[in-house]
């Protein structure tokens, strides 16, 4: 079974631009979560989607948004990029939506904002 895939793996943008990251979950998984990883703040939850609906959202500004498609693939978008948005963005998929369900992580997209 293929794992979680994220594209692109690396991205360089400049301040003020916008970016879209993509995540394909494990086949059959309908829950997708996104996390931001930075050296200073560590791993922080962005949002979770299930069946095309956002179930939960972390404490991030409105510049961060996401969506999920009918095939469970998910995208997240960051508008008006700031230097502080440089991070590794991790996507995780799960076969369920409960707190005990294992989340399977992709390799991440490394975003650098110049």
Partner 1 sequence: AQSVTQLDSQVPVFEEAPVELRCNYSSSVSVYLFWYVQYPNQGLQLLLKYLSGSTLVKGINGFEAEFNKSQTSFHLRKPSVHISDTAEYFCAVSDNSGYSTLTFGKGTMLLVSP
Provide the token pair at 34. Answer: 């996104």
21 touches partner 1 by CB under 8 A? no
Q: Count the residues of the shown chain that bind partner 1, applying the rule CB under 8 A.
A: 28
In whole angstroms, the minimum distance from the beta carbon of 45 to partner 1 comes to 5
Task: Specify the DSSP element, H or E, that contains 12.
Answer: strand 10-13
72 interacts with partner 1 by CB under 8 A: no
Asked if 33 and 103 touch (Cβ cutoff 8 Å), the reply is yes
- Of 25, 106, 21, 105, nearest to 64 (Cα)? 21
Q: Give dist(CA 101, CA 14) in Å, integer.
A: 37
Which part of the chain contacts partner 1 (CB under 8 A), choosing from 11-19, 30-38, 68-76, 79-87? 30-38
Contact of 89 with 107, CB cutoff 8 Å: no
Smallest distance, Å, CB 23 to partner 1?
11
Q: Which residue, 5 or 65, is less far from partner 1 as judged by CB?
A: 5
Binding site for partner 1 (CB under 8 A): 4, 31, 33, 35, 42-45, 48, 55-56, 58, 90, 92, 94, 96-108
């Amino acid at each position: 079974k293929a794992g979680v895939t994220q594209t692109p793996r690396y991205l360089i943008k400049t301040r003020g631009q916008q970016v879209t990251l993509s995540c394909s979950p494990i086949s059959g998984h309908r829950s997708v979560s996104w996390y931001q990883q930075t050296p200073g703040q560590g791993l922080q939850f962005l949002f979770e989607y299930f069946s095309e609906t956002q179930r939960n959202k972390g404490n991030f500004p409105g510049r961060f948004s996401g969506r999920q498609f009918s095939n469970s693939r998910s995208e997240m978008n960051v508008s008006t990029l700031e230097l502080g948005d440089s991070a590794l963005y991790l996507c995780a998929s799960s076969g369920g939506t409960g707190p005990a369900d294992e989340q399977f992580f992709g390799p991440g997209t490394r975003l650098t904002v110049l």
